Chains A and B, each alone.
Chain A
Amino acid sequence: MREVKMENTHPRDPKKTYGLMELVKGTKPTVGLKPDKMVFTWPHVLIREMIIFVSVSALLLVAAFFIDAPLEAIANANLPPNPAKAPWYFLGLQELVSYSALVGGVVIPGLIVTVLILVPYLDRKKVGIGIWFAKERALANSLFMLFLVVMLILIIVGTFFRGPNWDFVVPWEAVKGH
């Protein structure tokens, strides 16, 4: 920003009660704005997007070279494994289903999805926006954290602590038994 000599371009008229206050050299209209909190997408956002794109791709390639995706024997409807397990993210549900098929497999997942969809229409007070774990949102955040932790525990139990006939097993014991 550089000041231009106003006297030359806009001489003051003594009859007027108002006058041009300042001329500023700049590239954007900044009238009435607080100090600029915005940055241009080009290049600030785009460069970050490129960095994430490249690093995610690179990490995947490295992982793919060293860790093989599982592949078991060809599918055989006559050879059921015991226990047969769903993909890991459904093992929390499978764990619930082992207690009650209707409640665990239908009612609870239905409720979870319904409540998730309704969240922004139930909790509308404009506090704690854009701030991690804001004090004003302690209750909402605690409830959601509890939900995540319970799901995580169920998935861990379903993945590591369930053996034949969905009986409780301790993973390190199961390894010894082999």
Chain B
Amino acid sequence: MDLKISAVKTYLNDVFRSIFRYGKMPRDAEGQSFAVFNNLFLHIHPVKVTRHSLKPTYTFGLGLISAVLFLVLIFTGVWLMFYYIPTVDEAYNRMLDLRSSTNFGFVLRNVHKWAAEAMVVFVILHMARVFFTGAYKPPREFNWVVGVFLLLLTFGLSFTGYLLPWDQLAFWAITVGTSIAGYVPVMGEDIRSFLLGGDIVGQEALIRFYVLHVVILPGLMLVLLGVHFWRIRKDGGLAHPSENEDASAGGGE
């Protein structure tokens, strides 16, 4: 009997090891290194980081919080897609349904809304942090540029999502917002009607904003986020005072 139990244990352990090759909780340096770089999801991290980069008052976790908000937005956004219909006749009704007849529908929509507003705020704060700590200096120039495009994508995602509830707030905010595009000299009106698929915000605009919001912009965001994270690692981790020309004067750990 004992023999059988231990055989089963060995077998289960083999199964576990086939997935996680370096055990449950690696405690030595070798295991902790392998745990990171042999895992597809973890290997976007470097194996080691400076203590300086972990100080809460250095980054305030602003970039990470932005990324977490984006994950929450994907999760709640896909969930909302099960309820939402991007037509002028149905969209608003679906908002009312989320409030009244869908279990915890209001929580779902509220989480999506507040995560979206928070993401705009935290992405801007993250950019300010990077600026005020001089973290865009060589060799991190290009990652700052990627970051600027991530900020623009964040605005784009927020703006396209703004129209989808199809209430008065949505309709007129998008009417005003897209009218700004019309002020571009010569081709302004063309840009505007390309965005809206017509002269006014209507069914064509709704479906365009919907596709941009749920496929095109999140897709671009995921690719650029991948580049952004990858570059942090390739550029030597977070900016560190020892990189300064007069590094001996620079403090920090």
Chain A contacts for B201, CB-based, 8 A: 75, 77
Interface size class of A (residues with CB under 8 A): 35 or more
Q: Does B13 contact A (CB under 8 A)?
A: no
Chain A contacts for B45, CB-based, 8 A: 41, 45-46
- Please list 30 pairs of residues, one from A and one from B, whose beta carbons are closer than 8 Å in the complex, sorted by A's number: A27-B29, A39-B48, A40-B29, A41-B47, A42-B35, A49-B64, A56-B68, A56-B72, A69-B113, A71-B95, A72-B169, A76-B168, A77-B171, A79-B168, A85-B173, A86-B177, A87-B162, A101-B183, A105-B183, A105-B184, A106-B180, A116-B148, A120-B138, A123-B137, A126-B137, A129-B240, A131-B241, A131-B244, A140-B134, A144-B132
- Give the nearest-CB partner of B28 in chain A: A27
With A87-B158, A87-B177, A97-B180: A75-B132 Cβ-Cβ less than 8 Å = no
Q: Does B245 contact A (CB under 8 A)?
A: yes
- Give the nearest-CB partner of A123 in chain B: B137
Whether the pair B167, A69 counts as a contact (CB closer than 8 A) is no
Q: How far is the CA of A61 from the CA of B106 in the complex (A)?
A: 11
Q: Which stretch of A3-11, A13-21, A88-96, A169-177 is in the interface?
A: A88-96
Q: How far is the CA of A157 from the CA of B12 in the complex (A)?
A: 64
Q: How far is the CA of A148 from the CA of B39 in the complex (A)?
A: 40
Q: How far is the CA of A146 from the CA of B107 in the complex (A)?
A: 38
Chain A contacts for B200, CB-based, 8 A: 77
> Number of B residues whose C-beta is below 8 Å from A?
95
B45, B48, B253: residue with the most chain A Cβ atoms closer than 10 Å: B48
Residue from the list A52, A89, A124 in contact with B64, Cβ < 8 A: A52
Interface string of B76-93 (1 = CB under 8 A from A): 000000000000100010
With A39-B54, A56-B69: A102-B134 Cβ-Cβ less than 8 Å = no
Residue from the list B50, B110, B115, B135 in contact with A68, Cβ < 8 A: B110
Residues of B167-182 at the interface with A, using a CB-CB cut-off of 8 Å, are: 167-173, 175-177, 180
Interface string of A103-123 (1 = CB under 8 A from B): 001100000010011011101
B235 to chain A, nearest CB (A): 11
Whether the pair B69, A37 counts as a contact (CB closer than 8 A) is no
Q: Contact residues of B with A, CB < 8 Å?
A: 26, 28-30, 32-33, 35-36, 42, 45-52, 54, 58, 61, 64-65, 68-69, 71-72, 88, 92, 95-96, 99, 106-107, 109-115, 118, 120, 128, 131-138, 140-142, 144-145, 148, 152, 155, 158-159, 162, 165-173, 175-177, 180, 183-185, 188, 200-202, 238-246, 250-253
Whether the pair A52, B168 counts as a contact (CB closer than 8 A) is no
In the complex, given contacts A27-B30, A80-B172, what are 9 additional A-B residue pairs having Cβ atoms less than 8 angstroms apart? Answer: A39-B50, A41-B42, A42-B42, A64-B110, A72-B168, A84-B173, A124-B141, A127-B134, A131-B241
Q: How far is the CA of A101 from the CA of B171 in the complex (A)?
A: 21
Q: How far is the CA of A130 from the CA of B235 in the complex (A)?
A: 14
